[in-house]
A and B are shown apart, each in its own frame.
Chain A
């Protein structure tokens, strides 16, 4: 690998760091889009089988080319800008919906050392980036100049801001016990302890000591990505499709891509923060990227499973769960963990 890179680096000269970063970015974004495409197929197939249907099976062998066909269809459709819409912001909306979902991957480690930016404040960066995701939704909603879109956007803004707080507190617990904001060291700190030495690595991961926070983070993640059963943002039976109602063609596809990229991001983060990232669950198997992929796929399967199982929450129930259940619970648990870490009973020394 080194002998291959060096002549290329010499060819680009001083602009090499820029080129190398671009190569790494494409190396993450391109597989991510492929995952997004096949996640849509997986969703339709999984929900299909859960409802005793077959799901898409016409395009390609066993329907495997369906996401490609969908993509081509959306690309060829006309993007209609409503006459009363604020044109610039109407275009900016979908861009801002997808942008943060991709930017967050800059600090996500895939394996030991496999990360674009191994920044010290990685967790903070993630919190900041995910907190600006809501702009895409509310800008799109306002710029569409439509009542349905606007109502959807208001709901979305309220829901995403509420659940962000609970997610933030759950992350505070994680960073307290690993005493680092760097995602790589958070993963590494989960591989230490008595259980890991005995070969039962999966018992030393954060999900066990922080079990309530793990559940809160997972549920808040579903609410944050506006997935069922928290999908009142789109609520097709009440407000048609929420903020996306005026969008067509590729502009709509960007929202769609953003939602699925966010799902993958939240799943990967849950795996990294609570399920030990690329660490192997048992002592006799090596740590590798495969474990992270498996864990992420499992969380993604949970997303699809929940969608097929639960009916949509009523809006006041969503707000109650966020503000009156999750935020007090996480606040209390932050104090409990802080005392635990400082007490002689601490298991993270």
Chain B
């Protein structure tokens, strides 16, 4: 077993264990942190495939932004584990059915003739001056430019929809305008009153 295989199996073991912990951890904050670990391991595996742009983007987007906001929300929630577990047995048949279906579907995809070590061999050595990021950018903006732009429009619509759904206009909100506050002059706030001195 060469060095790369050792690294691959190490990352894969950590990834599988961390993913298991995400769904078994009793504390939701721990579950979120295990998800972060899972993302890291997945990024390590991508790095082994010489997909450095995707690997770093995974860490940047999911670990650096998405999971921070996730943790932010999960930490502020007051989650009662006992109450969530109440309906466990009644939901089990449906959940198990969906789970088995997903396993079957994934094994069909992964076991098929289009997937596997013969169809997708490990990346070989690259020539000098090859940049993964540059190649990816070139492909995205030439060959796949329409799907790429379409995906960006879908994301934009989703973003606007999320903002529009959660935006509520409240009356009587005591909003302040920092620009006006910064631009304030002494004369707007202070009035000098001249008064004659009091004498007894």
A: residues with CB less than 8 A from B are 89, 119-121, 124-125, 127-128, 131-132, 134-135, 138-139, 142, 150, 154, 157-158, 161, 164, 181, 316-317, 320
Q: In the complex, A236 Cα to B108 Cα: how many Å?
A: 59
Given that A138-B68, A142-B29, A157-B72 are contacting pairs, would A120 and B63 also be in contact in the complex, using a CB cutoff of 8 Å?
A: no
Q: Are A120 and B64 in contact, with the CB atoms below 8 A?
A: no
Q: Are B131 and A128 in contact, with the CB atoms below 8 A?
A: no
- In the complex, whether B56 has a CB less than 8 A from a CB of chain A is yes
Q: Are A316 and B52 in contact, with the CB atoms below 8 A?
A: no
CB-defined contacts of B176 to chain A, threshold 8 Å:
316
Q: For the complex, count residues of B whose C-beta is within 8 A of A.
A: 23
Given that A121-B132, A124-B60, A316-B178 are contacting pairs, would A131 and B36 also be in contact in the complex, using a CB cutoff of 8 Å?
A: no
Q: Quote the shortest CB–CB distance from B108 to chain A (angstroms).
A: 34
Q: Are A120 and B52 in contact, with the CB atoms below 8 A?
A: yes
Q: Are B56 and A125 in contact, with the CB atoms below 8 A?
A: yes
Given that A121-B52, A181-B133 are contacting pairs, would A161 and B75 also be in contact in the complex, using a CB cutoff of 8 Å?
A: no
Q: Are A161 and B71 in contact, with the CB atoms below 8 A?
A: no
Interface members, chain B 46-66 (any A CB < 8 Å): 52-53, 56-57, 59-60, 63-65
Q: In the complex, A263 Cα to B69 Cα: how many Å?
A: 25
Contact pattern, B 89-123, Cβ under 8 Å of A = 1, otherwise 0: 00000000000000000000000000000000000
Given that A121-B52, A138-B72, A139-B33 are contacting pairs, would A128 and B133 also be in contact in the complex, using a CB cutoff of 8 Å?
A: no
Q: Are A138 and B71 in contact, with the CB atoms below 8 A?
A: yes
Contact pattern, B 129-146, Cβ under 8 Å of A = 1, otherwise 0: 001110000000000000
Q: Quote the shortest CB–CB distance from B102 to chain A (angstroms).
A: 30
CB-defined contacts of B69 to chain A, threshold 8 Å:
161
Q: Quote the shortest CB–CB distance from A263 to chain B (angstroms).
A: 20
Q: Quote the shortest CB–CB distance from A293 to chain B (angstroms).
A: 28
Given that A127-B60, A142-B75, A320-B178 are contacting pairs, would A120 and B68 also be in contact in the complex, using a CB cutoff of 8 Å?
A: no
Q: Are B53 and A128 in contact, with the CB atoms below 8 A?
A: no
Q: Are A120 and B29 in contact, with the CB atoms below 8 A?
A: no
CB-defined contacts of B76 to chain A, threshold 8 Å:
154
**Chain B: CB-nearest residue to A129:** B59
Looking at B69, B76, B133, the one whose CB has the most chain A CB atoms below 10 A away is: B133
**Chain A: CB-nearest residue to B182:** A317
Q: In the complex, A11 Cα to B52 Cα: how many Å?
A: 34
Given that A124-B53, A124-B57, A131-B63 are contacting pairs, would A150 and B75 also be in contact in the complex, using a CB cutoff of 8 Å?
A: yes
Q: Are B133 and A121 in contact, with the CB atoms below 8 A?
A: yes
Q: In the complex, A336 Cα to B64 Cα: how many Å?
A: 27
CB-defined contacts of A121 to chain B, threshold 8 Å:
52-53, 56, 131-133
Q: In the complex, A301 Cα to B42 Cα: how many Å?
A: 40
Q: In the complex, A330 Cα to B134 Cα: how many Å?
A: 23
Q: In the complex, A120 Cα to B75 Cα: how many Å?
A: 37
Q: Are B60 and A120 in contact, with the CB atoms below 8 A?
A: no
Given that A119-B52, A121-B132 are contacting pairs, would A154 and B60 also be in contact in the complex, using a CB cutoff of 8 Å?
A: no
Q: In the complex, A316 Cα to B53 Cα: how many Å?
A: 35
Q: In the complex, A161 Cα to B64 Cα: how many Å?
A: 8
Q: Are A128 and B59 in contact, with the CB atoms below 8 A?
A: yes
Q: In the complex, A158 Cα to B59 Cα: how many Å?
A: 18
CB-defined contacts of B57 to chain A, threshold 8 Å:
124, 128
Which 3 A-B residue pairs are closest in the complex by CB-CB distance?
A131-B64, A128-B59, A128-B60
Q: In the complex, A157 Cα to B65 Cα: how many Å?
A: 10
Q: Are B64 and A164 in contact, with the CB atoms below 8 A?
A: yes
Q: Are B60 and A131 in contact, with the CB atoms below 8 A?
A: yes
Partner of A135, one of B36, B60, B131: B36
Q: Are B133 and A124 in contact, with the CB atoms below 8 A?
A: yes
Q: Are A132 and B63 in contact, with the CB atoms below 8 A?
A: yes
**Chain A: CB-nearest residue to B36:** A135
CB-defined contacts of B132 to chain A, threshold 8 Å:
120-121
Interface members, chain B 146-160 (any A CB < 8 Å): none
Q: Quote the shortest CB–CB distance from A251 to chain B (angstroms).
A: 19
Q: In the complex, A317 Cα to B181 Cα: how many Å?
A: 10
CB-defined contacts of A139 to chain B, threshold 8 Å:
33
Q: Are B68 and A161 in contact, with the CB atoms below 8 A?
A: yes
Given that A119-B52, A128-B56, A132-B59 are contacting pairs, would A154 and B133 also be in contact in the complex, using a CB cutoff of 8 Å?
A: no
Q: Are B65 and A161 in contact, with the CB atoms below 8 A?
A: yes
**Chain A: CB-nearest residue to B76:** A154
CB-defined contacts of A132 to chain B, threshold 8 Å:
59, 63-64
Q: Quote the shortest CB–CB distance from B158 to chain A (angstroms).
A: 18
**Chain B: CB-nearest residue to A127:** B60
Q: In the complex, A150 Cα to B77 Cα: how many Å?
A: 13
Q: A89-B29, A120-B131, A124-B52 are in contact. List 15 more A-B contacts (CB 8 A).
A: A121-B56, A128-B57, A128-B63, A128-B64, A132-B63, A138-B68, A138-B75, A139-B33, A142-B29, A142-B75, A150-B75, A157-B68, A161-B68, A316-B178, A320-B178
**Chain A: CB-nearest residue to B57:** A124
Q: In the complex, A135 Cα to B59 Cα: how many Å?
A: 13
